[in-house]
Amino acid sequence: MIKKLLIANRGDSACRIARTAKAMGIAVATVHSSTDRQAAHVRQIGQSIEVGGGPASESYLNIPAIIAAAQTVGADAVHPGIGFLSETPDFGSAVEDAGLIFIGPTADTLARFGNKLQAKQEAAELGIPVIPGADLASDDEAGIGAVVADMQPPLLLKAAAGGGGRGIRVVREDDNLGENIASAMREAKASFGRADLLVEQYLDRPRHLEVQLAGDGTGAAIHLFDRECSLQRRHQKVVEEAPVARLDANLRQSILDAACRLATHTKLRGLATAEFLVVGDAFFFLEVNPRLQVEHPVTEAVTGLDLVAWQLRI
């Protein structure tokens, strides 16, 4: 049983995790930057260690400082929260190398799902439909241009290490291809530290569905039903709802089964969300986010479960 938890995050994410941990009898501490000394999560949680300057790169992304903070407060586990280091394999490894419990998937799982091309290839190997596109990611503008020239528009340029709608451009016949490629690469590099892009067929106005997953790390995994996030602006989710309405029962079951196959195949430990696009009666794998998502309260509302408690128990 975890005795003390360091929450390596800030804001509502840190406060929400702390509430559940305290309710379970687990002592909590957190971290802050030099500009967040009076932040809400510092005041609500109580014990907090300053881990660096204002920029996230100096504080909330500072792996050695966070490990040192966990050791200073006597924590035996670290929760990465939402965002920041939550999907960083090196952080998961560093936590466990320090003899602490990482509340999240293994570093191997984080790496496999973090690489969008590898995740897509693994889904295809499991017989899960994937969006048609090139079978490689590249940071060579000329090479990407050649791939686009061999495909039928509209197409989607997507950061291979991406998420959150960043590093994405839609390419139509009359678009400025060179500028689209260059701008997508610049945004990908600035957001994720990598400029390589995937090229896929663009699906116009699909439904965007998610499946909440939980696994025990041995290959046993279950779904906690689905959510829909089709209402978006600039590839950012605006409204999330559950359960998914007006979806054929057989199609729903196929999507849930596909998500569970992915979780079982990767021996998921903890929580993850598998995402799919639906066009008519067909569905396509999009990605897996191997962490607690912002949208998790929607699943909690329809199931009555506390997903953070599940993470801590697993």
Any idea which residues carry the catalytic annotation?
A: 291
- Cα separation of 131 and 133, whole Å? 6
CA 215/CA 259 separation, integer angstroms: 11
Own/partner contacts of 236-239, CB < 8 Å, gap of 24 or more, are 236/164, 236/165, 237/208, 237/295
Number of residues assigned to the chain: 314
Work out the angle at residue 197's Cα, subtended by the Cα atoms of residues 193 and 198, and round it to the nearest 5 degrees. Answer: 140
Among residues 213, 198, 307, 205, the alpha carbon closest in space to that of 258 is found at 213
Distance CA 11, CA 37 (A): 12
The DSSP secondary-structure symbol of 237 reads E
Distances (CA, A) of 238 to 124, 174, 228, 234, 235: 29, 29, 11, 10, 9
Burial class (CB in 10 A: 0-12, 13-18, 19+), 38: exposed
CA geometry: angle at 93 spanning 136 and 120, to 5°?
A: 25
